[in-house]
Amino acid sequence: MKRLTMLSAATIIATITGCSVSNDFTPVAGNSGEEIFSNACIDCHTPENGYIYDISPEKANIESISAIISKGEMVMPAFPNIQGAELTAISEFVLAKNKPVVSEDAASE
Ligand code: HEC
């Protein structure tokens, strides 16, 4: 309950100020992307049909995803303490759980 209240407060602050809040979550060295996700991200990003993200194609790469995690993006908090191997691991996990772009051919089936 306390955690939910803090999340709402962070969201309200981000909405009012228009800039990202920072989350001080620090992963254990060597944690897998999945472990980091279930500790730090699952509260806001809920898996749906096996996929979690629906990132626009130009942002669906490791560099862009890492930048979003490090710096935040609007309501999405920044995670400055996720770095190095752990940042790569969580970025790869996000990319693996990103909904694949449906091509025109597949969509018209
Ligand atoms: C407090 C809630 C919250 C937490 C915690 C959170 N996110 Fe987010 N995240 C959001 C919201 C809301 C968005 C939607 C877009 C925006 O506001 O820019 C978002 C967007 C994103 C995006 C961009 C998606 C897109 O379509 O462009 C990525 C990637 C992402 N989050 C990854 C993560 C990862 C990885 C973690 C854990 C380390 C995490 N988020 C934790 C709320 C959260």
CATH of residue 88: 1.10.760.10
Residue 51 lies in a domain: yes
Q: pLDDT-based confidence at 21, cuts 50/70/90?
A: confident
Distance 103 CA to ligand 1 centre (A): 25
- The domain in which residue 76 lies consists of 2-101
The tens digit of pLDDT for each residue in 73-109 reads: 989 999 999 999 999 999 999 999 999 877 666 555 5
Q: Is residue 53 part of a domain?
A: yes
* Weakest mean pLDDT among 14-23, 25-34, 39-48, 53-62: 14-23
Atom number of ligand 1 nearest to Cα 11: 1
Pair 68, 59: CB distance under 8 Å: yes
Q: Confirm whether 106 is domain-assigned.
A: no
Residue 107 in any domain: the answer is no
d(CA 22, CA 71): 8
Looking at residue 100, its pLDDT comes to 84
Which residues form the pocket of ligand 1, taking CB atoms under 6 Å from any ligand atom?
Answer: 7, 10, 36, 40-41, 43-45, 53-55, 59, 65, 68-69, 73-77, 79, 82, 90, 94
Task: Report how many domains make up the chain.
Answer: 1
Judge whether 77 and 23 are in contact, CB under 8 Å. Answer: yes
Residue 31 located in a structural domain: yes
